[in-house]
Amino acid sequence: MAKHLLAGVLIMGLAPPALAQTPLAIDPGSSAIKWGPCPPLFAKGCQIAVLHGDPAKSNADVLLRVPGGFKLPPHRHTSAERMILIGGRLKVRYQGSPARTLGPGHYAYGPAGLPHEGICLGRQRCTLFIAFEGPVDAEAVKGPIR
Is 20 inside a domain boundary? Answer: no
Q: What is the arithmetic mean of pLDDT over 53-80?
A: 96
Is 25 inside a domain boundary? Answer: no
The tally of domains found in the chain comes to 1
Number of H helices, E strands in the chain: 0, 12
Is 30 inside a domain boundary? Answer: no
**Which domain covers residue 90, as residue numbers?**
3-15+38-140
> Is residue 112 scored above 70 in pLDDT?
yes
Is 145 inside a domain boundary? Answer: no
User: Residue 3 — pLDDT band, cuts 50, 70, 90?
Assistant: low
CATH number of the domain within which 125 lies:
2.60.120.10
User: Residue 9 — pLDDT band, cuts 50, 70, 90?
Assistant: very low
pLDDT score at 13: 42
Q: Please state, rounded to an integer, the average pLDDT across all residues of the chain.
A: 88
User: Residue 16 — pLDDT band, cuts 50, 70, 90?
Assistant: very low
Which residues are registered as beta bridge partners of 61?
Answer: 52, 131
The pLDDT tens digits for 42-58 are 999 999 999 999 999 99
Of the listed ranges 19-28, 53-62, 121-130, the one predicted with least confidence: 19-28
User: Residue 65 — pLDDT band, cuts 50, 70, 90?
Assistant: very high
Q: Global pTM?
A: 0.85
pLDDT score at 22: 78
Is 68 inside a domain boundary? Answer: yes
Q: Which long-range contacts (CB under 8 A, 24 or more apart) does 98-105 make?
A: none
CA quadruple 107, 91, 78, 14: dihedral, nearest 10: -70
